[in-house]
Amino acid sequence: MKRYLLHRLLLFFPSLLGVLTLVFFFIHFVPGDPVEVMLGETASASDKEALRRQLGLNEPVWTQYLGFLKGLAVGDLGRSLYHQEKVMDLVLARFPATLELTLAAMAVATLCALPLGVLAAWKRRTWVDRCALLLSLFGLAMPNFWLGPLLIIAFSIQLGLLPVSGRGGLSHLILPSLTLGTAMAALLTRMIRSSLLEVIHEDYIQSARAKGLSEITVWLKHALRNSLLPVTTILGLQFGSLLAGSVITETIFTWPGIGRLTIQAIQTRDYPLVQGCVLVIAVCYLVVNLFTDILYRVIDPRISYGK
């Protein structure tokens, strides 16, 4: 296990560097000029050139890349070209909002999917199963940009129970997390159901039944735990997707998170800020994946990570 963890940690940094390198070159090769954004249309050509020199944007991309790596090595991501604030400050100011939304969406998805998936498997081929599958189909088919406004109209405008948008207390978190978590809940429901149906015919389940254990104990203690392995993989991967893909939900609900910041940074060709946002998202993604691998072992102690 220790060797495996060490191996994964050693892979962590090259993976991160790979992501940052790709994004660095992509964003630099996309047409667009941050100096134009900073100085506006009326600035003289000489002023634009002077600023370009000052920011090092006139240097070859490779030189800029090396400069970026040097900064990265000492934890300096530079200043945002657009906001003129430290990139790290901007990213860290927005990151908690995205993390809060992602975790809430994960919680919503898990809390909905677990009972629904178990119920669907337990009552296989009954109306309960069909309802659960239909619900999950709707969940997967509904895009966030449609579901979000629909939930706002229902719960904020018609019933007046919840705020329309913005970040505040728990009441502000409910609709965005429902919107973001619905598709994931649908996916998990189907995963849990099919995974449970696979393990329920295994020999050890028959043994448990033969020992006279109640059907609930068999399902929840023996079958569910063993069916969670593929579900954990999906959870880990989905966490990263939710984190990086929350931009639509953040836009609908005016959620001041990192998704909106990234889009704005790309639109203004704010190279350092794009890198900062990608760095945080990539680190989270890699950490969660690592954590998922460790969790495998906790869920199924039979799993071995090499010699």
Q: Which residues bind another protein (CB under 8 A)?
A: 30-33, 36, 38-45, 47-48, 50-51, 54, 79, 82-86, 94, 148-149, 152-153, 156-157, 160, 163-167, 251-254, 256, 260-261, 264, 266-269
Q: Which residue number, 41 or 203, has a Cβ lying nearer to another protein?
A: 41
Amino acid at 80: S
Q: In angstroms, rounded to a whole number, what is the distance separating the alpha carbons of residues 177 and 82?
A: 30
The continuous run of DSSP H or E covering 166 comes out as none
Closer residue to another protein in complex, CB, 40/60: 40
Q: How many helices (H) and strands (E) does the chain have?
A: 14, 0
Provide the minimum distance between the beta carbon of 214 and another protein in the complex, in angstroms, as a whole number: 49
Report the nearest approach of another protein to the CB of residue 82 (Å): 6
Q: How far is CA 247 from the centre of its chain?
A: 10
CB of 149 to another protein, least distance (A): 5
Residue type, 9: L
Residue 40 CB contacts under 8 Å (≥ 6 apart), including other chains: none
Query: Would you put residue 202 in left (φ > 0), alpha (ψ -120 to 50) or beta?
Result: beta
Indicate the residue among 179 and 238 with the shorter CB distance to another protein: 179
Please say which residue, 217 or 251, places its beta carbon nearer to another protein.
251
Residue number with CB closer to another protein (122 or 271): 271
In the bound complex, what is the minimum distance in angstroms from residue 61's beta carbon to another protein?
16
Residue length, the chain?
Answer: 307
| CB 252, min distance to another protein, A | 5
Sign of CA dihedral 217, 221, 224, 226: negative
